[in-house]
Amino acid sequence: MGNLANSIEDYLKRLLTLSGAGYIDIKRKELSNKFSCVPSQVNYVLETRFTLEKGYLVESKRGGRGYVRIKKLKLSPRSSLIHFLRELEGGLPGEEHAKGFLYRLYEDRFLSLRELRLMEAVLEGLDTLEENPLKNKIRRDLLRQMLVVLLKFDY
């Protein structure tokens, strides 16, 4: 069990626990130095251990003073969101299914009315597209990305 990836994972999770803020900022390069490995090893850990399904959110910025931010999501009404996200990965949900889901989020006060309408507009907006084979895939992609935003900016 003592591989590199696990050590890095543990280290990051320890940092997260210690930090009161609910998130930590690291420098990819520094971290890889600390563990004497290549930088992309850090990406591997992030991709395999800090996924959305596992309740983490990773953001980053390149360039001078860049960073990688790891956020621990507090799950609550959010579990349904994550569940829906997982469903999305599997197949394409019909527009009605998607809308129903959004409406439930709205009823649970997880979405404002305006946010609901915005998202519906996107789902519907694609209808004007005459039968394009990609349509459903596009709809799913957009929906997924929007849901991720909801996870990210939960207030």
Partner DNA sequence: CCTTTTTTGACTATCTTTGACCAATAATAT
Partner DNA sequence: ATATTATTGGTCAAAGATAGTCAAAAAAGG
Quote the least distance from Cβ 2 to a copy of itself, whole Å.
7
DSSP 8-state class, residue 126: G
Write the binding mask 46 to 65 for DNA: x where contact by CB under 7 A, - elsewhere. Answer: --x---------x-xxxxxx
Binding status of residue 131 toward DNA by CB under 7 A: no
CA distance 94 to 81: 17
Binding status of residue 132 toward DNA by CB under 7 A: no
Task: Work out what residue 114 binds among a copy of itself, DNA, none; the CB cut-off runs from 5 to 8 Å by kind.
Answer: a copy of itself
Quote the least distance from Cβ 103 to DNA, whole Å.
13
Nearer to DNA, 18 or 36 (CB): 36
Write the binding mask 96 to 115 for DNA: x where contact by CB under 7 A, - elsewhere. Answer: --------------------
Nearer to a copy of itself, 38 or 118 (CB): 118
Binding status of residue 66 toward DNA by CB under 7 A: yes
Long-range contacts formed by 36-43: CB under 8 A, 24+ apart:
37/4, 41/4, 41/5, 41/8, 42/8, 42/68
Nearer to a copy of itself, 3 or 36 (CB): 3
CA distance 33 to 11: 14
Q: Give per-residue burial for 81-97: e unless 16+ CB within 10 Å, then b.
A: bbebbeebeeeebebee
Structure tokens at 10: 């543990």
* End-to-end Cα distance, the chain: 37
Q: 89 Cβ partners below 8 Å, 6+ apart?
A: 144
* The one among 28, 71, 72, 139 contacting DNA by CB under 7 A: 28
Positions that interact with DNA (CB under 7 A): 1, 3-6, 26-30, 37-44, 48, 58, 60-68
